[in-house]
Amino acid sequence: MDLRQLRYFIALNEHRSFVRAADAMGITQPAFSRSIQGLEQEFGCVLVDRGHKDLRPTPEGQVVLQHALSLVHGAALLSSEVTRMTKLDAGELRFGCGPAPAVKLVPDAVARFVNAHPKIRTRFQVDNWETLSRSLSREEIEFFIADIRQFEADPNFQTQALTPKRGVFFCRPGHPLLAKDSLSTNDMFDYPLASPLISQGIRKLLANLSGRMDFSPSIQTEHFAALVKIVLQSNAIGVGTEEAFAEDLARGALVLLHWRNLPQNMETMSARCGIVSRTGSRLSPAAKAMIEMLVAVDRQEVDVAV
């Protein structure tokens, strides 16, 4: 018994005709029939009810068919996995990123990666760092890009730092706060805050500023386009990395808010952006190449900004 015979038996079950199955597999009908007979001889039983016009599998044939499907599928997965782990001209890459890197860094890097390796299927999941860490632990993705502060001290994860991203507060033009000459963080909490999932450090800072035991934004979404629309159509104050909203800020669609009692370059408000992978995991060549591309694009964007 070999995989070729099992594939022929699966084809016979699909086409219910020796002639059509042989044609689908690209061999002559006599050779196809001999292969099925050889399989029956090896198992010592009849696998196909030739007396039935639909050539249905016998009860023994049903058992063989179930295992054949599993074995053939497993062999295909094994071949794909080995190819993915050894080559850059085939296979699939799966990784994740937070909503901020998904605005510019990741699309720029993926575009370059696709140009360099067009035969690799690339899938990236955009979500918050909590969800991405679960996907990574389940081996659904090979790595992700997000704030690395949650993972630096965890032995289950390995981190590689990228350029920190400055956190900012912003609002719509015409917001009531813009009429004031000077703003205190006390003014902030008179309005809803809208943000993606924030780090523990920022949560703690906002809790301290608001005099609460804990803090959660009024509106939370990982969809930045939706967040911007909410801020533009309400008095909500947006919170996020400056880079993610750079275009809207540059054209005046959004306005930065500065609080007199909060240092502009406060480290707590910066996102420690980086790459997170599982400790001890062997990254595929495609994952390694993508990480190299992300690092290169990140450095180039910093050089352009300077």
Tell me the average pLDDT across 1-12: 86
Q: Which range has the top average pLDDT, 23-37, 59-73, 100-114?
A: 100-114
- Say which DSSP state 190 is in: T
Q: CB–CB of 181/187 below 8 Å?
A: no
Q: CB–CB of 238/169 below 8 Å?
A: yes
Is the pLDDT confidence value at 305 over 80?
A: no
Q: pLDDT-derived band of residue 32, with 50, 70 and 90 as boundaries?
A: confident
Q: pLDDT-derived band of residue 200, with 50, 70 and 90 as boundaries?
A: confident
Q: Report the alpha-carbon distance of residue 303 to residue 306 in Å, rounded.
A: 5
Tell me what pLDDT residue 306 has: 44
Is the pLDDT confidence value at 38 over 80?
A: yes
Q: pLDDT-derived band of residue 3, with 50, 70 and 90 as boundaries?
A: confident
**Distance between the two ends of the chain, CA-based, in angstroms?**
65
Q: In which residue are the tokens 């159509």 written?
A: 233
Which residue type is seen at 202?
Answer: I
Residue burial 256-278, b: 16+ Cβ < 10 Å; e: rest? ebebeebeeeeeebbbbbbbbbb
Tell me what pLDDT residue 213 has: 84
The pLDDT tens digits of the residues spanning 19-31 come to 888 888 889 989 9
**pTM here?**
0.64
Angle at 218 between CA 215 and CA 223, to 5 degrees: 110
Tell me what pLDDT residue 302 has: 57
The pLDDT tens digits of the residues spanning 152-197 come to 889 999 999 999 888 889 999 999 999 999 998 889 999 999 998 8
Q: CB–CB of 196/227 below 8 Å?
A: yes
Is the pLDDT confidence value at 198 over 60?
A: yes
Q: Report the alpha-carbon distance of residue 212 to residue 105 in Å, rounded.
A: 35
Range with the poorest average pLDDT among 59-63, 110-114, 168-172, 195-199: 195-199
In whole numbers, what is the pLDDT of the chain averaged over residues? 87
Q: pLDDT-derived band of residue 267, with 50, 70 and 90 as boundaries?
A: low
- Say which DSSP state 165 is in: B
Phi, psi of 51 (to 5 degrees): -80, -10
Query: At a CB cut-off of 8 Å and minimum separation 6, what does 126 contact?
Result: 96, 97, 98, 99, 102, 222
